[in-house]
Amino acid sequence: MTDPWPTSAPGVLRLPSGRLVRGRGLRRPLPEGPAPTFAVHLLGRRPPESPWPSVWLRWPDFRLPADRAEAREVLAEAWGRAAGERVEFACGGGRGRTGTALACLAVLDGVPPAEAVAYVRRHYDRHAVETPWQRRYVRAFTPAPPRA
């Protein structure tokens, strides 16, 4: 078990279960404080190597994940890891793709899909989830089916 994110740190979102995750924009400097133990990079092209374990989810700016089944699996893994690790989601600006991913995490955590965008805007960034299709994606988001 890793020490959790400080709740007052920039970009930290507390999910209803108490899990803490951090969202941030990669175009801004790394925030002070503890480093992530796992990161999900939401970018249209491969990110540079990270000093901590990370996964790249191909997700072009202002769009949706290139592979929605993979996105469900990555988001479910990150949600599970957030129970005991410092998990970070990051895109270029930290609002659209990151906010969409955080809203999907809120759904995994029990927030009804129709309320997840409002939840993230209230507790993370009021401009999160930037496009109509990102909002529709969250409303239609369902967890990955269990593996056989």
pLDDT of 66 higher than 70: yes
pLDDT tier for residue 133 given thresholds of 50, 70 and 90? very high
pLDDT tens digits, 9-60: 999 999 999 999 999 999 999 999 999 999 999 999 999 899 999 999 999 9
Chain centre to alpha carbon of residue 103: 7
**What is d(CA 68, CA 59) in angstroms, rounded to the nearest whole number?**
10
Average pLDDT of the chain to the nearest whole number: 94
d(CA 135, CA 141): 10
pLDDT for position 129: 97
- pLDDT for 147 equals 54
pTM for the model: 0.94
| Whether pLDDT at 3 is above 90 | no
Say whether 87 sits in a helix, a strand or coil.
Answer: strand
Residue 2 pLDDT grade (very low, low, confident, very high; cuts 50, 70, 90): confident
Which secondary structure element, helix H or strand E, spans residue 57, and what is its range?
Answer: strand 54-58
Query: Is CATH 3.30.360.10 what the domain over 13-140 is classified as, yes or no?
Result: no
- pLDDT for 144 equals 61
Q: How much is the pLDDT for 24? A: 96
Domain boundaries, the chain: 13-140
Query: Which residues 6+ apart lie within 8 Å of 15 measured at CB?
Result: 21, 82, 105, 106, 109, 111
What's the rounded Cα separation, in Å, for the pair 92 and 142?
Answer: 25
| pLDDT at residue 145, rounded to an integer | 61
- Per-residue pLDDT at 93 exceeds 70: yes
